[in-house]
Structure 1
Amino acid sequence: MANPNRLTAQQCVDLLKEETGDEIKPVTFHAYVNRGHAPKPVEKIGSTPLWKRSEIVEWARNRPGRGARTDLRKPRRRTKTTDTPGTTE
């Protein structure tokens, strides 16, 4: 009997739609996994990777929204100074 807490890529995609309403294809999910933007599989049956249901639910609830750039660093805040070099009063 299969473990109900282990999901195939298609089941992960279906769960994502249930949890968030977002639709992605299994190939897109695999791309997220390969880039480190989704959880890694926890086991395999034959050549089929399986993911832990609780990790997918957590990822689905906390993943960045559509169009969010995750590869950019946050800009540094500049501090304002009251003294401007080269000016005299």
Structure 2
Amino acid sequence: MANPNRLTAQQCVEVLKEETGDEIKPVTFHSYVNRGHAPKPVEKIGNTPLWKRSEIVEWARNRPGRGARTDLRQPRRRTKTSDTATTTD
């Protein structure tokens, strides 16, 4: 009996559509996995990779929106330095 908490790429795509309404193809999902933008598979049956349902649901709810640049570094915040100028009267 197959584990209902393990999903194929096609099932991951279906969960994504259920959770967010976004439609992607399984090949796009595999591309996200290969680039590190989606969870890695947790096991394989033969040549079929399987993902954990809870990880896919979490990823679907928190993934960046369409057009989000994930390749850019976050800007470093600069700390303000207080000017301690003294005035003489």
TM category, shorter: 0.7 to 0.9
**Counterpart-to-counterpart distance in 2, 1:78 and 1:40:** 35
4+ residue stretches of structure 1 with deviation over 3 A?
Answer: 76-81
Match of 2:65, as an amino acid?
A: G
**Counterpart-to-counterpart distance in 1, 2:48 and 2:77:** 46
Q: Which residue of 2 aligns with 1:3?
A: 3
Listed one character per residue, the Cα deviations across residues 14-61 of structure 1 (whole Å, up to 9, x for unaligned) are 000000000000000000000000000000000000000000000000
Aligned length: 83
Among all aligned residue pairs of Structure 1 and Structure 2, give the percentage whose two residues are the same amino acid.
94
The SS at the match of 2:32 is helix
Q: Which residue of 2 aligns with 1:19?
A: 19
Shift of 1:78: 5.6
TM-score by length of 2: 0.85
**Counterpart-to-counterpart distance in 2, 1:58 and 1:44:** 21
Shift of 1:74: 2.3
Q: What are the equivalent positions in structure 2 for 1:71-86 lying under 5 Å apart?
A: 71-77=71-77
Point out where structure 1 has 5 or more consecutive residues left out of the alignment.
84-89
TM-score by length of 1: 0.85
**Counterpart-to-counterpart distance in 1, 2:69 and 2:75:** 13
Match of 1:6, as an amino acid?
A: R
**RMSD of the alignment, in Å?**
1.6
**Counterpart-to-counterpart distance in 2, 1:42 and 1:80:** 45
